[in-house]
């Protein structure tokens, strides 16, 4: 009988914990307010239910509470918070109720109360997250699908990319290498891996940090330059020194194939403008690079 009582008590306690928290306050007790437009992220997932709730506390006293609201224009859920206080500079703590998981999470990051201050909007909402989201928005490089980049320069968020003059820049698929959690937007929409863009004129992209506190506008200009045909050089066998074939070409990482009698011997790639095959016996070789095939004889 005693064991049964303990088990029942255990389930009773858990049922209390699972209830939606009753966070409330008497607004008339406070003289000042500040406000937030925020998004809620718990364990890497943005909350998206009107039953989810966020509360603001000073110590254990509730100073603001709201449920999430769906905003159709953004197709996302936001928390519109009004926070109350009588004292400037109080440390505010956040708690989040996740209705799907039926859990309450305390947020590590704090905010200082500022009279009449306002943080966040629909495009750049204030982040209430656990764990804390990154505030860094860094663009490392930009590449294009199946198109080698000849040169890449960046100055003050203006990027210039040079590609071969035979490429079609009216329908390029860009790939952005960015810092962890950073998102890229084009024409107001999240950039997807299959987005095709006309780069005839400079194109602007928006780079947004994970917590939305950092937003950068990056302009990318693609220019076409003429690339000379690959150049081939050789050294014959001399005494104890084997033959050498060198290929010079402007497009980095281009594959270079060395064949003999139709059989592939070696595969290399253009690095720092060249590729070298050493230790070759005398004979007839075929070198293939970017569709160009050259027959080279080493004596």
pLDDT at 152 over 70: yes
DSSP codes of every residue in the chain: -HHHHHHHHHHHHHHHHTSPP-----GGG-SEEEEEEEEEEETTEE---TT-EEEEEETTEEEEEEE-EEETTTTEEEEEEEEEESSTTPEEEEEEEETTTTEEEE-S--EE--TT-EE--SSSPEEEEESPPP----EEEEEETTB--SEEEEETTEEEEEEETTS-TTSB-EEEEE-TT-EEEETTEE--TT--B--SS-EEEEEE-TTSS-EEEEEEEEEEE--PPPEEEEE--BTTBPEEEEEE-SSTT-EEEEEETTEEEEEEE-BTTEEEEEEEPSEEEEEEETTEEEEEEE-
pLDDT confidence bin for 75, thresholds 50/70/90: very high
pTM comes to 0.74
* 169 strand-pairing partners: none
Task: Find the mean pLDDT for residues 125-152.
Answer: 94
Task: Find the mean pLDDT for residues 76-96.
Answer: 98
* Burial profile 115-139: b = 16 or more Cβ within 10 angstroms, e = fewer: eeeebbeeebbbbbbbeebbeebeb
More confident of the two residues 17 and 70: 70
- For residue 38, count other CB atoms closer than 10 A to its CB: 22
Least confident of 13-27, 95-109, 122-136, 213-227: 13-27
Contact present, 208 and 186 (Cβ < 8 Å): no
pLDDT at 183 over 90: yes
**pLDDT value for 252:** 85
The mean predicted confidence, pLDDT, of the chain is: 91
Domains in the chain with CATH codes: 2-130 (2.60.40.10), 139-225 (2.60.40.2340), 231-298 (2.60.40.10)
* 85 strand-pairing partners: 32
Least confident of 24-28, 183-187, 225-229: 225-229
pLDDT at 218 over 60: yes
């Amino acid at each position: 009988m005693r064991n049964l009582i303990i088990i029942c008590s255990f389930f009773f306690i858990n049922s209390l914990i699972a209830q939606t928290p009753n966070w409330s306050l008497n607004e008339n007790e406070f003289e000042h307010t500040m406000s937030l437009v925020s998004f809620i992220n718990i364990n890497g997932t943005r909350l998206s239910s009107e039953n989810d709730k966020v509360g603001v506390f000073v110590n254990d006293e509730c100073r603001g509470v709201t449920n999430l609201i769906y905003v159709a224009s953004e197709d996302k859920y936001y928390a519109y918070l009004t926070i109350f206080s009588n004292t400037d500079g109080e440390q505010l703590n956040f708690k989040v109720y996740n209705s799907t998981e039926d859990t309450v999470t305390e947020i590590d990051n704090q905010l200082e109360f500022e009279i009449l201050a306002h943080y966040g909007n629909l495009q750049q909402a204030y982040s209430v997250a656990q764990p804390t989201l990154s505030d860094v928005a860094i663009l490392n490089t930009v590449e294009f699908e199946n198109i080698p980049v000849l040169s890449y320069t960046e100055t003050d968020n203006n990027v210039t990319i040079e590609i071969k003059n035979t490429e079609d820049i009216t329908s390029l698929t860009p790939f952005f290498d960015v810092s962890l959690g950073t998102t890229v937007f084009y024409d107001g929409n999240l950039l997807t891996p299959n987005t095709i863009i006309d780069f005839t004129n400079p194109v602007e992209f928006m780079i947004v940090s994970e917590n939305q506190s950092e937003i950068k506008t990056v302009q990318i200009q693609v220019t076409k330059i003429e690339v000379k045909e690959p150049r081939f050089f050789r050294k014959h066998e001399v005494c104890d020194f084997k033959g050498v074939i060198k290929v010079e070409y402007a497009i980095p990482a281009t594959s270079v194939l060395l064949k003999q009698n139709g059989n592939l011997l070696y595969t290399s790639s253009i690095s720092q403008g060249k590729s070298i095959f050493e230790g070759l016996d005398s004979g007839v070789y075929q070198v293939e690079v970017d569709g160009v095939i050259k027959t080279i004889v080493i004596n």
